[in-house]
Amino acid sequence: MKLRNQTQLSEFLLLGFSEDPALQPLIFGLFLSMYLVNVSGNLLIILAIHSDFQLHMPMYFFLANLSMVDIFFTSTTILKMLENIQTQSRAISYAGCITQMFFSLLFGSLDDFLLTVMAYDRFVAICHPLHYMVIMNSQLCVQLVLLCWAIAVLNALMQSLLVLRLSFCTHVEIPHFFCELNQVVDRACSDTFLNDLMICIISVLLGGGPLSGILYSYSKIISSIRAISSAQGKHKAFSTCASHLLTISLFYGTVIGVYLSSSTAPNSASTAAASVMYTVVTPMLNPFIYSLRNTDMKKALKRLFIHK
C-alpha cells in the first residue's frame, strides 16, 4: 500500500531520445515540423472529402476517419514531448502518463481497425462491383466505424485499468518519448504476470485478427484482378487499392519493427526511435500517399484551393 500511495504522488520521467542539451532544439524543430505537416495534411484530406460531393463514398468516409484518428494519435504522443523540451523538463504526472497511455492505445488500435475496414471496402468494390453501393450502404459504414471505436475503447480501458492495479517505485524513468504500455508495465515494482499475459493475448487477437482479415481481402482482390482480361481494367482495379496497400505496408512494417527492436533491446532508445515511424511518420505520410496517388483526391484538393 505504501508503494501505491507513493506512485500516485510521483512523477514519471520520459527520457526521450537524447540527454544532450545541444540536440534539444534540433529535436524540437524536427518533431514540430512533422507534427504541423501531419495536422495540416490530414485536415486538408478531411476538408476536401467533406466539401466535395463526389467524394461522399464509403472509401473516402473511412479515409476521413483515418485522417482524424491520425491527428489525434500524433497529438497524444508528440505534444507532451514538445512541451517537455520547451520547458526543459522530462516529467509527466502519474495521471498524465496513464491518460496518455490510454489515448495512444485507443488511437493506435483505431488505425489498425480502420485499415482493416478499408481493406473490406476495397474487397467489396473489386470483387462485387455491381452490389457495392447496396452492401456498403451508409448505415453499414457508420456501424463499422462505431464498432472500431467500441473495440478500441474497451481495449484501451482494460489495459489502462490493469496498469492502475500495479505499484511503482518513487523514481521511474521511461526510455521513451511517451508512456507506451510495455515500457510502463516493465517498470512496475509489483507482479506484472497478468498484464504481460493480457498484452500477449490482445496483441494476437487485435493485431493478428485484423491482419488476417486484410490478407484474406487482398487474396480475393488479387484473384479478381487476375481474372480481368484487359490490361487497362487490371490497372484501374489495382490503382484503387494501391494507396491503401502502401499505407498498410508502412503501418504494419513499422509496428513489427518496434516490437523487434523492443525484444532485442528493451531498454534502449532504439525502441523510441522505431516508435516514431508508426506514431509520427506514417500518419504524416498518409495524406501524401492518398492525395498524390488518387486522381479524385487531387481534383478535390484543387477545387478546395480554387474555391478558397
pLDDT of residue 262: 64
pLDDT of residue 30: 93
Q: What is the mean pLDDT of the chain?
A: 87
pLDDT of residue 112: 93
Contact predicate 54/106, CB 8 Å: no
Has residue 6 got a pLDDT over 70? no
pLDDT of residue 268: 57
* pLDDT tens figures, 251-270: 888 877 777 666 665 555 66
pLDDT of residue 267: 54
Average pLDDT in the 114-138 region? 93
pLDDT of residue 95: 92
The CATH code of the domain that includes 232 is: 1.20.1070.10
- Written in H, E and C, the secondary structure of 272-292 is HHHHHHHHHHHHHHHHHHHHH
**Domain count within the chain:** 1
pLDDT of residue 236: 76
pLDDT of residue 74: 95
pLDDT of residue 154: 97
Residue 235: which pLDDT band, with cuts at 50, 70 and 90? confident
Conformation bin of residue 16: beta by default, left when phi > 0, alpha when psi is -120 to 50: left
Please give the residue range of the domain that contains residue 190: 2-307
Mean pLDDT lowest among 121-125, 174-178, 256-260, 300-304: 256-260
* Helical (H) or strand (E) element with 51: helix 24-51
pLDDT of residue 275: 82
Contact predicate 14/172, CB 8 Å: no
Residue 32: which pLDDT band, with cuts at 50, 70 and 90? very high
pLDDT of residue 239: 78
pLDDT of residue 243: 83
Q: Which three cell numbers stand for residue 129?
A: 462491383
Residue 188 phi, psi dihedral angles, 5° rounding: -75, 150
pLDDT of residue 269: 62
Better-predicted residue by pLDDT, 292 or 235: 235
pLDDT of residue 1: 40
Residue among 179, 177, 259 at smallest CA distance from 211: 259
Has residue 3 got a pLDDT over 60? no
* Helical (H) or strand (E) element with 172: strand 172-174
For residues 280 and 38, what is the distance between their CA atoms, to the nearest angstrom? 8
pLDDT of residue 293: 67
Residue 9: which pLDDT band, with cuts at 50, 70 and 90? very low
User: Residue 100 carries which DSSP code?
Assistant: H
Average pLDDT in the 47-71 region? 91
Residues β-bridged to residue 168: 188
Contact predicate 148/117, CB 8 Å: yes
Distance linking the first and last C-alpha atoms of the chain: 60
Has residue 225 got a pLDDT over 90? no
Integer CA distances (angstroms), 277 to 34, 69, 269, 282, 283, in order: 11, 16, 14, 6, 9
Better-predicted residue by pLDDT, 267 or 273: 273
Residue 18: which pLDDT band, with cuts at 50, 70 and 90? confident
Classify the C-alpha dihedral 79-82-84-90 as positive or negative.
Answer: positive
Average pLDDT in the 14-38 region? 89
Has residue 148 got a pLDDT over 80? yes
pLDDT of residue 233: 75
Q: pTM for this one?
A: 0.90
Q: Which three cell numbers stand for residue 296?
A: 479524385
**Strand order across the 11-14 sheet:** 91-93, 11-14, 172-174
* pLDDT tens figures, 165-187: 998 887 788 888 999 999 899 88
